[in-house]
Structure 1
Amino acid sequence: MKIIITVILSYLLGCFSSAYFLGKVTKNIDIREYGSGNAGATNALRVMGKKIGALTFLLDILKGIIAVIIGHYLLGFDGKLLAGVFVVLGHNFPVFLNFKGGKGVATSLGVLMILDWKIGLSCLVVGVTVIMITKYVSLGSIFASITAPISIIVLLDNIDRNFYFTIWFLGILSVIRHKSNIHRLLRGEENRLGKNI
């Protein structure tokens, strides 16, 4: 029963789209109809400005943190992993928005910060560094996603199997969600940070 509760609560928490909510409240718009059409922090930044973009990013991180804490309370360590997966799935595929959500980067970061802060911090540092150098948010997000599973091997001595596969799943899912960005990057059509803000 606790497994079902963990899955449902985490997924529903993930379904709360910060970008969509803030778009409706502050601009009376559906963020999915503007910019890239993605209900995430980067598109919120481009469409609604720096303050709303930053708030969206923080709220999405907070979703991941809260979900993992709930999972830990209900089921211990494995509950944290289960909650981490389903809060990201909820963010990416929210039932209330016809399964059209974000890409899960900020929410995954929140999850990682609680699962193992060293991995979360590594992803954040790599992502921010790539963004600062290239001005491509998507490229920074992709590199951060790839960093997560690599960090497990580099930073941790004893690796729990379920933990290992959870991190790989989140990393691969994030990269897949950036498929359109990867295509635009390869064509030289991806917008850099600072453009259209």
Structure 2
Amino acid sequence: MNVILLIIISYLIGCFSSAYLIGKIFKKMDIRSYGSGNAGATNAVRVMGKKLGVLTFLLDFTKGIIAVLLGYRMMGYNGGLIAAFFVVMGHDWPIFLGFKGGKGVATTIACFAVLNFPIALISVIIGITVALTTRFVSLGSIVFFTIVPILNIVNFNNFNKEFFIASIFLAIIGIYKHKENIKRLKNGCENRIGR
């Protein structure tokens, strides 16, 4: 029973679409009709500016932390893993917005930060470095998703099977949500930072 309750609550927390609500409140607009059409922090920065974009990121980040901590409280570490998966699902496919949400980067970072802070920190640093070097935010995000499970394998003395499985699933979701970015990267027409 606790598992079902945790899944539902985590998913609903994820459905809180920061980009959508901020767009409606501050700009009287549906952000999904502008820019990339994505209800996430990167598109929020491009469409609504840095301040509202940062606010979007922080709110998306916060809901990841809240969900995982709730999972910890209800079911321990495995509860945190379950909460992480479903809060990201809610963010990416929110039921209240016709399942058209974001790509889950900020929320996933938050989840990993609670579940395994050292790996999350290193992965974020690598992802940011790639994004700043190439000026492709999407590429930095894809690298972040990819590097988390890899670092868990490399850290064989503290290998965590449950975290590894969760990170694989979240990586698959994150990379899938970036499928259009991947196509644009291959075709050389992806948006760069500053454009």
Question: TM-score, normalization: structure 2?
Answer: 0.97
Does the CA-based 8 Å contact 2:10-2:90 persist in structure 1?
yes
State percent identity of aligned pairs.
Answer: 53
SS in 2 for 1:193: coil
Does the CA-based 8 Å contact 1:93-1:100 persist in structure 2?
yes
Please state how far the C-alpha of 1:74 moved relative to its aligned partner. Answer: 0.3
Please state how far the C-alpha of 1:34 moved relative to its aligned partner. Answer: 0.2
Does the CA-based 8 Å contact 2:6-2:74 persist in structure 1?
yes
Q: Deviations over 1:1-59 (max 9, x none)?
A: 21111101100000000100100011010000000000000000000000111111111
- Which residue identity does 1:142 align to in structure 2? I
- Which residue identity does 2:73 align to in structure 1? Y
Aligned residue number for residue 185 of structure 2:
185
Q: Deviations over 1:56-112 (max 9, x none)?
A: 111111111110000000001110000000000000000000000001111000000
In structure 1, what is the Cα distance between the partners aligned to 2:56 and 2:155? 30
In structure 2, what is the Cα distance between the partners aligned to 1:180 and 1:8? 29
In structure 2, what is the Cα distance between the partners aligned to 1:102 and 1:131? 18
Query: Residues 44-193 of structure 1: matches in 2 within 5 Å?
Result: 44-193=44-193
Gaps of 5+ in 2: none
2:10 is the counterpart of 1:5: no
In structure 1, what is the Cα distance between the partners aligned to 2:171 and 2:119? 12
Aligned residue number for residue 39 of structure 1:
39
In structure 2, what is the Cα distance between the partners aligned to 1:156 and 1:39? 37
- Which residue identity does 1:105 align to in structure 2? V
SS in 2 for 1:103: coil
- Which residue identity does 2:14 align to in structure 1? G
Does the CA-based 8 Å contact 2:22-2:56 persist in structure 1?
yes
Q: Deviations over 1:113-136 (max 9, x none)?
A: 000001110121011101110111
- Which residue identity does 1:19 align to in structure 2? A
In structure 2, what is the Cα distance between the partners aligned to 1:44 and 1:23? 8
Please state how far the C-alpha of 1:160 moved relative to its aligned partner. Answer: 3.3
- Which residue identity does 1:26 align to in structure 2? F
Does the CA-based 8 Å contact 2:152-2:160 persist in structure 1?
no
Does the CA-based 8 Å contact 1:20-1:31 persist in structure 2?
yes
Does the CA-based 8 Å contact 1:40-1:103 persist in structure 2?
yes
In structure 2, what is the Cα distance between the partners aligned to 1:93 and 1:118? 28
In structure 2, what is the Cα distance between the partners aligned to 1:119 and 1:86? 21
In structure 2, what is the Cα distance between the partners aligned to 1:168 and 1:22? 31
Please, what is the CA RMSD of the aligned residues?
0.9
Question: TM-score, normalization: structure 1?
Answer: 0.96
Please state how far the C-alpha of 1:156 moved relative to its aligned partner. Answer: 4.9
